[in-house]
Structure 1
Amino acid sequence: MGLPKNSLTEDEKIVLEFHPHWSTLVATIFWAIVAVVVAGVVIFFIPDGDSQTLIRLIVAAVGVVAVIVVGLLPFLRWVTTSYTLTNRRLVMRHGILSRSGRDIPLTRVNDVSFSHGLIERVLGTGTLVVESGGENGQLVLKKIPRVEHTQSQLYRLVEELTDGDGIRP
């Protein structure tokens, strides 16, 4: 679910397309598994009786709702969040039912930096900070995959647009 090709301007080319790093889904997967296990254990230990089937169905329904809330919705949020770097702009899009986005023309980018801790470095993720001249100023993007590569590509494109002399055409 990246940027549609018909959204590109003339002579605009996609350089990078990505979602937040997969590590953002670790907690989601963990809690979805916990919800399934808890529901399964509760269903297993429901004592025999007249309403055993009804109680099991209710517990199963609650378990399904829990999996949707803690598992499916965060996964859909991850899938529908995309970042696209073109040779002209940085494009962010997100939203499951309703979509919103932000485009930053590379000619307005003043500074690009990244940071990552030890675990983030091992996983190949980090935080990308893009400073732009505009009313929104600083944009902080967390859990960006290959953050160093993304930062260098973004910086390279900004330099190409400014012709390396700091003066924007």
Structure 2
Amino acid sequence: MAYPDRILGPDEQVVRHLHPHWLTLFRPVVLFLVLVGGGSFGAALVPEGDDQALARLVIGAVAVVLGLVFVAVPLLRWRTTHYVITTHRLLFRTGILSRTGRDIGLSRITDVSYRQSLWDRVVNSGTLTIESAGDNGATVLSAIGHSEEVQQLLNHMIEEDADRRAQESAGYIGEAYRDDPYDDDHHPDDRSRGDRRDRRRTR
């Protein structure tokens, strides 16, 4: 089962699965093109001779190492960074070899705000700040695409979660009344008063 479906609860559904904004991949892609072009150009400039093959091998090895550090790692970091909004919580997962994660229940979120610079507005990105009850402080998510839309979605999901919890609570109380072994037509306070009257008669 693929992530994040394998970590969901029985009645939990994914509403939005996000990665950082695609613009975070712009620099690694440009560096990849520069490395390919520069490596090919440098290998072509190596003069003929006994050391030509070795020099080209060194240039190729340097290009591969730089590609791993400045291209592959950022791409993998983007791919392994997950922001998931479900019907019950907000999940963060990040890390390539070592993993870091945090879950925030929608019922614990007290405020969601976003911030956009002029450039963020041009590329439709932004920073989300999520305040939650507890001692961990605010959670800041950078480079979130469609940040305003995500903020509105989170606020909507928080309201739906509160309504769902209220309905479940009301249903639980209703079940308790229906399972009352004494009298389904009377309030529990009435039953208590009736019990007290019965005890007085038996004295």
Structure 2 matches for 1:61-76, cutoff 5 A?
61-76=61-76
Larger strand proportion, structure 1 or 2?
Answer: 1
Cα distance in 1 for residues equivalent to 2:158 and 2:2? 21
Cα distance in 2 for residues equivalent to 1:161 and 1:61? 54
Amino acid at match of 2:156: R
Structure 2 matches for 1:151-162, cutoff 5 A?
151-162=151-162
Larger-gyration structure (1/2): 2
4+ long deviations beyond 4 Å = none
Q: Which moved more, 1:114-123 or 1:102-111?
A: 114-123
Percent identical = 43
Cα distance in 2 for residues equivalent to 1:137 and 1:2? 31
**How many residues in Structure 1 have an aligned counterpart in Structure 2?**
164
Cα distance in 2 for residues equivalent to 1:57 and 1:45? 13
Amino acid at match of 2:128: L
RMSD of aligned Cα (Å):
1.8
Larger helix proportion, structure 1 or 2?
Answer: 2
Q: Counterpart of 1:166?
A: none
Deviations 1:34-88 (A, max 9, x none): 2222222221111222111111111111111111111111101101111100111
Asked if 1:126 is matched to 2:126, the reply is yes
Cα distance in 1 for residues equivalent to 2:47 and 2:67? 24
1:33, distance to aligned residue in structure 2 (A): 1.7
Q: Counterpart of 1:135?
A: 135
TM-score (norm 1): 0.89
What secondary structure sits across from 2:20 in the alignment? coil
Gaps of 5+ in 1: 164-168
Structure 2 matches for 1:63-102, cutoff 5 A?
63-102=63-102
Structure 2 matches for 1:35-74, cutoff 5 A?
35-74=35-74
Amino acid at match of 2:48: D
Asked if 1:145 is matched to 2:145, the reply is yes
1:158, distance to aligned residue in structure 2 (A): 1.5
Q: Is the CA contact (8 Å cut-off) linking 1:2 and 1:83 kept in structure 2?
A: no
1:102, distance to aligned residue in structure 2 (A): 0.8
Cα distance in 2 for residues equivalent to 1:114 and 1:2? 30
Q: CA distance change for structure 1 residues 28 and 2 in 2, over 3 Å: closer, same or farther?
A: farther
TM-score (norm 2): 0.75
Amino acid at match of 1:64: V
1:162, distance to aligned residue in structure 2 (A): 3.5
1:2, distance to aligned residue in structure 2 (A): 7.1
1:97, distance to aligned residue in structure 2 (A): 2.1
Gaps of 5+ in 2: 164-168, 170-203
Cα distance in 2 for residues equivalent to 1:100 and 1:123? 28
